Structure 1
């Protein structure tokens, strides 16, 4: 072929490619993207209108040369626009013409073009769309997640379960959102919504503060910088652990979400040092913390950990009814749990996949007691010696791994500094001291009416106040919803509300005139110890202001479960007196000599805003109810640590807020925004 003919052929080919790949000149609708998609993915389509179109809009995908919807590879969706009577559902859009749509790409899709038709006539065609195969092993993005019992929330499958035209048109960001509860999940949700340009939200909080179960008590009206505080709620974050068998160190990845949140808040509060969140080391244990033993020092005080480990005089053998049977039962549990080095690493680095594996391998099917009694046929007495008969939780060992951590962090000035850092974000958008008692769905306009009364008011005398929202995030513990007036949720969700189990805990913090524990013959510099004085449990020494010259605060008791219920049956004065005497028994009269009379007590089961310390699902509940939490009902998404894979940790609340916000955004068709959140808050610290 002659050179000039070859050039002409090349030009002709290029022109043909432009003809089929570029939008038609003078088209009424132009596509603004996406132009790079994945097979089996989830995307937003963006369009612009260049004239006032009215009628039924249909968007399809297929060859770039088609001129009829019937020739398409697949129909993406259809809806009425403009002045068509059926377009009234799009009142939030300018002239009732939506510009944002949802596209779930099939797994067999190939390169082609997007096409827009109105009443069957072609009104717009996109440039050629590039299609890539789905990447199955990459950082967590919206389309890379698995089923509810597996790795994370599966956005693609979630959208496939909906009718195509139901989710075809994306919502505008003008919708109103109510957030019930100003705990960590509610606060995180408000931050996430703001981050994607959704600002029409409001928090309704039953108490006079934000933070939920994050509660630092500052004794004697002190300030955070005075270091006269302790934690009545969560108090620490496990950061990393060292495998005792391999000496390998692993970051505990999930709690990095807390550190990322602090970074974001610190950036928002640049220039305001009082709102900066600063992490300091937490001392989980130290050489001289008291231990649970019947042996005592010559002066009658409790020996410390290193003394018991090194001095034969403090050796104390445990007596069992049948030592051989106990050893066999313990070995059976160890074999079933199979906490190998590889599994330890797995739990530390990817709690989502660890949860999936735990479900598949049956760890959620048995508590330790159930496994010994009904699988191993261990007799009841030996079973109770090995695993307390009060234990009804499945063998989901994430907490075991967390407490193997050898590096911990806490927040300087108390964990309440974390919710306090939301101050600038929240201004004017929180209704405090307002107890919700009713949520009603309005079928005529698909909205929700929330009714609440002032905290402490008499329901028979005070009229309720109402707020109307398009959508709700409900963070309230399920057990508190049992006496609310609620929509007719699905049977599974209603049973979760009625039956999901919550634990309880009790704490007392006491201020002393000096940090006397740091000046004993066996000084204690931070750490938590445990003693066998009934109803005391753990005692934690402050990890901050070591060797300070002023007063100091002990967490003088921390107990959970049935013992907390018993202890909280005492009056405040009885309980504090009992605990103070225990501190004297542990450390001697120096504890009485330094008594200030300043203390604070928290019985989480008695707290009207929480009615429990954390979710504690019994065997079978978690894998049964999680799918209900991940289903939007009556425009309501349920979040909070009780809806997460793990419980009792701030991470659990933050993770639930991330999942719930993504879920809500998908319900609204805001796929780009959902991807933005997932990429920002998941991909940076975990891989799937």
Structure 2
């Protein structure tokens, strides 16, 4: 809502004239302005004041010529509220003597240098120094609103606050409110760090498991330590780092991964060089020459050829055959043209995923899956559509993953990704409850608070006794598929439907320890990298990128599958599934895999994990552009965060981005504009200017 303006001839004339110097006030006036002293046209700022005397009644802050003596002369009113001993000042009980000292100022797009003025019941009680006005920066070029177009304005603080009633948004909140953070995954942990960074200390994390990290899960086999290297990742495991265009030799960083590296740097500083909490990055090897891929060809000894061997012998490759080759070729060309995965678009995925998302929405890539596009637009036959399409029938063609997996360089964390959440240990140690499974959120309109009820995760499920904690605000990172079983406030239709309907997928991983790193000593040795095998059904098989060429045992991520394959695999017992995977490894590499079997393994079925119920959000159809705006509105004092509320999914960046967005959104709700700007500038400046 636009700032209020006054239409008197005097006020209009005053706005058009150069605003003069202030008329003198008494040497001791009741309201003293402490900033801002420079503003941006069309921006939003906090006004900070001090009271040098008791001020009671209706306080009005206005802006105009430095010589005005009445409210009617002002260029515009910033806002008004009752303070002090006035009967309507009880809304400000959190402020000392019910007198707020921080206010929100939405700057008009056309304004000249002048002064802020404070009036108490119409009497001038304070005037600022002359405030300098700077032209609007090219904010719209880089604001979140522009990047996402009509799909949400939260990074444009002006737009977000402007939708509120002026006096509702006028008074900022104090920082001693209480905040509940639901979930100690990386988005919840990041939120705690961000709140701490701007002086908000009264937060508490409620976590359903006994550990930090959520879906970040490094498993150390046979009770080994991280330094021994006998581990693999049962959750995320890598970060795209750079992308090199082989034609131009230009190299671009993956800017979203920089958020992860920045977080690690911050945590290392906070932990003062504590080696046990250090987060150090090492290269991850994604592609190597000899990783296995699906083929029916076998070497003379019965083992599988690797990627380079098959590339050198095309007749060894497993090529798709089509019922109608001509129609299939037309269909593939149509998909390629529609996706338009040019070098420039791939660069955009790396350097500005927000802008790439906006472009994908504008081009209709969320409107169709591959099969839908072929059937409904191109008119391809059903059988050929199914032969050609590489994605599920319901998956949109927002293919950021394609861009990510074209990365030239990758990184991982020395000793396992667990080091990232563990680095928060000192931050959260006195402000977290473990093994506390939330089942209810209730909003109390009288106290304007949210009550969170939870039970012991490992307790008697028939015991209905709950522990209830009350917060002023809640930041909820729990996946929607779990929230469906909670007692929730009556959220808006859009957010309720997002919670009820957003699709999640699942994944399963099997890591096996072997007596030696036998894969590094084959005739065609494998040093890191991931292959993909569809028959037998083990999906990705990833080789450790750490301690290359070392002696002693090694751990292979022997199977990584997702979707319905994971669902079926996890229907097996753990022993049956591991045996299936081990047989596949022996089939691929021969008797050496059998000879080196230790019997040590780890399996993770994410759908069976009671704290997650799945692996990552996988929106179908147009769910993403439909539901995203719901996440950018605070309802019943609750902000939703988590990987499922981001633009991308399944990556650690997705969760971190949601935490930054959610925290900024919360700070804007509280009127803490300076703090919101600080976080945005610190963590999102690589994409966004405010």
Aligned with 1:543 (options 514, 521, 545): 545
Q: Contact 1:142–1:156 at 8 Å: present in 2 too? A: no
Q: Structure 1 residues 64-73 or 651-660, which shifts more?
A: 64-73
Partner of 2:307: 305
Partner of 1:33: 35
For residue 532 of structure 1, report the CA deviation from its aligned partner. 2.6
Distance 2:670 2:577 in 1: 51
TM-superposed CA distance for 1:568, in Å, is: 0.9
Change (3 A) 1:152 1:472: closer
Q: CA deviation at 1:589?
A: 1.2
Match of 1:674 among 672, 676, 682: 676
Q: Comparing 439-448 with 185-194, which one deviates more in the overlay?
A: 439-448
| 3-state SS of paired residue (1:651) | helix
> Which of 51, 54, 78 is the aligned partner of 1:52?
54
- The CA deviation at 1:334 is 0.7
From 607, 610, 613, the equivalent of 1:611 is 613
- Corresponding residue number in structure 1 for 2:81: 79
1:184 paired to 2:182? no
Q: Please report how far the alpha carbon of residue 277 of structure 1 lies from its aligned counterpart in structure 2 after TM superposition.
A: 0.4
Give the structure-2-normalised TM-score.
Answer: 0.95
For the pair 1:554 / 2:556, whether they are aligned, the reply is yes
Alignment of 1:12-411 (within 5 A): 19-20=21-22, 25-136=27-138, 147=149, 149=151, 153-311=155-313, 314-388=316-390, 390-411=392-413
CA shift, 1:26, in A, is 2.2
CA distance 1:644–1:220, shift in 2 (3 Å):
same
Q: Secondary structure at the match of 1:208?
A: coil
Q: Distance in 1 between matches of 2:361 and 2:221?
A: 44
> CA contact under 8 A between 1:143 and 1:156: conserved in structure 2?
no
> TM-score w.r.t. structure 1 length?
0.95
What CA distance in whole angstroms lies between the structure 2 residues aligned with 1:468 and 1:150?
Answer: 29
Aligned to 1:573: 575
Q: Render the CA deviation track for 1:487-532: whole Å, top value 9, x for unaligned.
A: 1100111000000011111101011111111111111100000113
For residues 320-351 of structure 1, give each alpha carbon's deviation from its aligned partner in whole angstroms, at most 9, with x where no partner exists: 11112111111111101111222222221111
CA, structure 1 residues 565+131, in 2 after alignment: closer, same or farther (shift >3 Å)?
Answer: same
Counterparts in 2 of 1:454 and 1:587: CA distance versus 1, 3 Å: same
Structure 2 match to 1:487: 489
Relative to structure 1, is the Cα distance of residues 513 and 80 closer, same or farther in structure 2, using a 3 angstrom cutoff?
same
Question: Post-superposition shift, 1:592?
Answer: 1.1
User: What's the counterpart of residue 6 of structure 1?
Assistant: none
Q: Distance in 1 between matches of 2:587 and 2:490?
A: 55
SS of the residue 1:405 aligns to:
coil
Shift of 1:311: 3.0
1:535 deviation in Å?
Answer: 2.5
Is the contact made by 1:145 and 1:152 (CA closer than 8 Å) also made in structure 2? Answer: no
SS in 1 for 2:384: helix
**Aligned positions, number:** 673
- Quick one: structure 1 residues 312 and 445, their matched pair in 2 at CA, closer, same or farther if it must change by over 3 Å? closer
Bigger Cα displacement from structure 2, 73-82 vs 176-185: 73-82
The alpha-carbon deviation at position 223 of structure 1 amounts to 0.9
Q: Is this contact kept in 1: 2:283–2:411, CA < 8 A?
A: yes
Matches within 5 A, 1:419-498: 419-498=421-500
- Does structure 2 conserve the Cα–Cα contact (< 8 Å) formed by 1:145 and 1:153? no
How far has the Cα of 1:408 moved from its partner?
0.2
> Is the deviation greater in 530-539 or in 661-670?
530-539
Once the two structures are superposed, residues 276-334 of structure 1 have per-residue CA deviations (whole angstroms, 9 ceiling, x without a partner) of 10000000011110011111111111110111111356244432111121111111111
Q: Is the 8 A contact 1:24 1:124 kept in 2?
A: no
Cα drift, residue 587 of structure 1: 0.5
Match of residue 13 from structure 1: none
More off after superposition, 248-257 vs 132-141: 132-141
SS in 2 for 1:410: strand
Which residue pairs with 1:506 in the alignment? Answer: 508
Q: Report the Cα offset of residue 56 of structure 1.
A: 0.7
SS in 2 for 1:666: helix
The residue number in structure 1 matching 2:4 is none
- For residues 88-137 of structure 1, the C-alpha deviation after alignment (integer angstroms, 9 at most, x for no partner) is 11111111111000001111122111111111111011111111111115
Residues 335-391 of structure 1, C-alpha deviations (whole Å, 9 max, x = no match): 011112222222211111111111111111111111111110111111111114734
User: Secondary structure at 1:679's aligned position in 2?
Assistant: helix
SS at the partner of 1:247?
A: coil
For structure 1, the residue ranges without an aligned partner over 5 or more in a row are: 1-15
Aligned residue runs from structure 1 range 410-421, under 5 A? 410-421=412-423
Contact 2:20 2:114 in 1 (8 A): no
Give 1:37 shift.
0.5
- For residue 606 of structure 1, report the CA deviation from its aligned partner: 1.4
Give RMSD over aligned pairs. Answer: 1.9
What SS does the corresponding residue of 2:545 show, helix, strand or coil?
Answer: coil
Partner of 1:3: none
Q: Distance in 2 between the 1:60 and 1:344 partners? A: 49
Q: Which secondary structure state, in structure 1, belongs to the residue aligned with residue 527 of structure 2?
A: coil
SS of the counterpart of 2:426? helix
